[in-house]
Amino acid sequence: MMVDWDVPITMDDGVVLRANVFRPDDDSAYPVVLSYGPYGKDLSFEEGYPDAWRKLVEDHPEVAAGSSNRFQAWEVCDPEKWVPDGYVCVRVDARGWGRSPGFVDPWSRREMIDLRDCIEWAGTQPWSSGKVGLLGISYYAVNQWQVAALNPPHLAALIPWEGFSDFYRELCYHGGIACDMKSVWYRRTISTVQHGLGERSFVSAVNGELVTGPETHTYTDLAANRTDFPAEIDGRPLDDSYHRERSAVFERITVPFLSAGNWGGSSLHLRGNVEGFVRAASRQKWLEIHGREHWTEFYTDYGIRLQKRFFDHFLKGLDNGWDRQPPVMLRIRTVDGDFIDRTENEWPIARTQWTNWYLNPATKTLSTDPPTTDQQASFAALTDPGITMTTPPMPADTEITGPVAATIYISSTTTDADIFAVLHVFDPDGNEVVLQGAVDPHTPIGQGWLRASHRELDPNRSTPWRPYHTHTNPQPLTPGEIYRLDIEIWPTSIIVPTGYRIALALRGTDYQYHGPAAQLSHFKGTQLRGVGIYTHADPDHRPPTTYGGTTTVHTTPNQPATLLLPHIP
């Protein structure tokens, strides 16, 4: 394998980005697998993310097998597992990150144009066949959705692996409620890989160079060379042009793609992978949903085989049967953390038996029979654990796979209320089933959120199983009046065994796992208590005078509150 370090790529405004090119050691031309992102192309996975790397190779030794692992990096492919199979791997440090200079502005249009120009550069090099595919997790997936709408001529295929597509609804404001993740992520990232950290940064274990470039800038200069990302988002609580600039434009995406999601990504990426598959204009598109940690299946033999089959077909033109691959590939979850692989022909699954479970807040039960009397139950929004309503024991093994929605009626003693809707499964002894999430090891079965003042629906995009809120026209509550809320609960999958129960919790705060908190080294001490770093606890966004009242859940025979579940026969 040949490695070209710090190859210059000049952008249209004169800024020179830096890329590493890993290619076969000959003079032939090969298809290109490209990534563009902020995590430092020269920072080793093991050094930058030691907890994640250690667990990955302990649980899945195949990841480290067959490679020296010298070039393994966070959320991008290992070139030692791609170059021998006839691919060129191009890793670009995004503007302002790693060894690329420039102003940091995550997922901005400037970055989108940079990525487009990198694709076109890679498609015209002497070692390139002219076909470029994009591959990577998270940040490296999100910008795939963005740049695909620009339709660069040399872009032949995408694999957005666990990547959100709606900046407002999936990263910044869940159901209109501000998510704290942006600050945790940005603080950690700029402190480790912003260009100009110089001697304060990591040193590449492979080439001995400083991961963030040769110059060491002052902290004042570093701050001046980046946007105040959390403040930008905090100042835009509605879905405006800032958020839309950083979101996918699905109707313009026509390139073939494989959208790979994670059931455990129920606070960031999963919705984007599903929405991309459902809404993009591409005629050749596939959806795959797996489980385990956010980074795991990308690097396992399972993930790499999937990625190569797709790219072999679209980048190399091989007749390997991919064009006959069913469009939906699901790893159905079981309560013991295992999976059952199955293919489908569409999403949501056509044979879904959409089943309304009726909420009985007074008795804290869910029933398939509608209520015959008026009922209500109340909780203190910021201090009580809320109301949990539970089904009878399942009479047979029951699969729930697909999007979920709740229609509820609430009143508040204040002018607004935040609703956290949590889908649970309990075993016959009453113990909650929690599964490995994308980040947090103790994740509930499903989650949804809605700020009551953001209840307005977009009728053109809403379906019974996926309410779509405008988030542009907040309507405060009149204390004591009853309002209908249609809550989107992100897609889920679980086989609920005989005797287990399904439950819906309505609360005014984040779900919390009752056992000990977990930690990951790259989150620098953040406690993971069931929702990972995706909490909604900033008091500036949730002042008690507005969100700390008493919330009452209502149901009546004429206006029954419901939980719509996708039962799969």
CATH of the domain at 117: 3.40.50.1820
Q: Tell me, yes or no, whether 422 and 529 share the same domain.
A: yes
Task: Report whether pLDDT(518) > 90.
Answer: no
Is residue 417 located within the same domain as residue 453? yes
Give CA–CA dist 491/267, Å, rounded.
11
Residue pair 369/356 in contact (Cβ under 8 Å)? The answer is no
What's the pLDDT at 527?
84
pLDDT of residue 515: 86
Same domain, yes or no: 441 and 519: yes
Please give the pLDDT value at position 302: 98
The token pair that represents 326 in the structure block: 């069913």
pTM of the model: 0.97
User: What pLDDT, on the 0 to 100 scale, is given for residue 469?
Assistant: 98
Residue 475 maps to which CATH number? 2.60.120.260
318 and 403 housed in the same domain: no
Structural domain for 436, as ranges: 353-568
One domain for residues 428 and 307: no
Lowest-confidence region among 82-91, 178-187, 463-472, 522-531: 522-531
From the centroid of its chain, how far is CA 75? 13
Please name the helix (run of DSSP H) or strand (run of DSSP E) that holds residue 114, with its range, or none. helix 109-122
Question: Does 401 lie in the same domain as 307?
Answer: no
Bond before 348 cis per omega within 30 degrees: yes
Kindly state whether residues 513 and 368 are assigned to the same domain: yes
Token representation of residue 154: 């040399």
- Please say whether the beta carbons of 465 and 489 come within 8 A: no
**Residue 551 pLDDT > 90, yes or no?**
yes
For the cut 90, the answer to whether the pLDDT of residue 520 exceeds it is no
Last residue of a domain, one of 285, 306, 325: 325
C-alpha span between 450 and 172 (Å, rounded): 13
Tokens matching residue 75: 């959320």
- Asked, for residue 539, whether it belongs to a domain, the answer is yes
The stretch 542-566 carries a mean pLDDT of: 98
Any domain includes 339: no
HEC assignment per residue over 122-178: HCCCCCEEEEEEEEEECHHHHHHHHHHCCCCCCEEEEEEECCCCCHHHHHHEECCEE
C-alpha 198/C-alpha 218 separation (Å) is: 10
Q: State the amino acid at position 447 in one-letter form.
A: Q
The predicted pLDDT at position 63 comes to 98
**Separation between Cα atoms, residue 2 and residue 185, nearest integer Å:** 34
The pLDDT tens digits for 4-53 are 999 999 999 999 999 999 999 999 999 999 999 999 999 999 999 999 99
Last residue of a domain, one of 325, 344, 376: 325
**524 has a pLDDT exceeding 90:** no
Task: Give the pLDDT confidence of 119-164 residue by residue, as tens digits.
Answer: 999 999 999 999 999 999 999 999 999 999 999 999 999 999 999 9
In single-letter form, the type of residue at position 465 comes to: W
Residue 545 pLDDT more than 90? yes
The reply to whether 211 and 157 lie within a common domain is: yes
Residue 400 resides in a domain: yes
Whether residue 63 lies inside any domain: the answer is: yes
Question: Token pair for residue 564?
Answer: 């719509």
Q: Considering just the CA atoms, what is the radius of gyration of the chain in Å?
A: 24
Instruction: Answer yes or no: is pLDDT of 242 > 80.
Output: yes
402 inside domain: yes
What value does the mean pLDDT of the chain take? Answer: 97
Q: Are 259 and 153 in contact (CB under 8 A)?
A: no
Are 198 and 319 in the same domain? yes
Q: Cβ distance 37 to 97 under 8 Å?
A: yes
Half-sphere exposure of 307 (CA within 13 A, CB side): 26
Bridge partner residues of 23 (DSSP):
2
Q: For strand 387-390 and strand 328-333, is the pairing parallel, antiparallel, or unpaired?
A: unpaired
Cα separation values, 351 from 68, 445, 504, 566, 568, Å: 47, 22, 24, 9, 7
- Residues 328-384: tens digit of each pLDDT: 999 999 999 999 999 999 999 999 999 999 999 999 999 999 999 999 999 999 999
How far apart CA 30 and CA 317 sit, in angstroms, is: 12
Judge whether residue 70 has pLDDT over 90: yes
My answer on whether 224 and 358 are in the same domain is no
Give residue 394's pLDDT. Answer: 98
pLDDT at 517: 82
* 286 within domain boundaries: no
Residue 525 reports pLDDT greater than 90: no
393-421 residue pLDDT tens? 999 999 999 999 999 999 999 999 999 99
Calculate what percentage of the chain has a pLDDT beyond 90.
Answer: 97
Q: How far apart are CA 134 and CA 91, in angstroms?
A: 10
Residue type at position 22: F
454 and 313 in a common domain: no
315 and 375 in a single domain? The answer is: no
Residue range 529-545: mean pLDDT, rounded: 95
Residue 216: inside a domain: yes
Which among 421, 433, 431, 351 has a CA at the least distance from the CA of 387? 421
Question: Model confidence over 261-293: pLDDT tens digits?
Answer: 999 999 999 999 999 999 999 999 999 999 999
pLDDT, residue 529, reads: 87
Q: Check whether 456 has a pLDDT greater than 90.
A: yes
Number of structural domains in the chain = 2
The last residue of one of the domains, among 305, 325, 345, is 325
pLDDT number for residue 521? 79
The per-residue pLDDT for 540 is 95
Residues 93-98 have a mean pLDDT of: 98
Tokens of 153: 């001529």
Strand (E) or helix (H) holding 182: helix 181-193
In a domain, 15, yes or no: yes
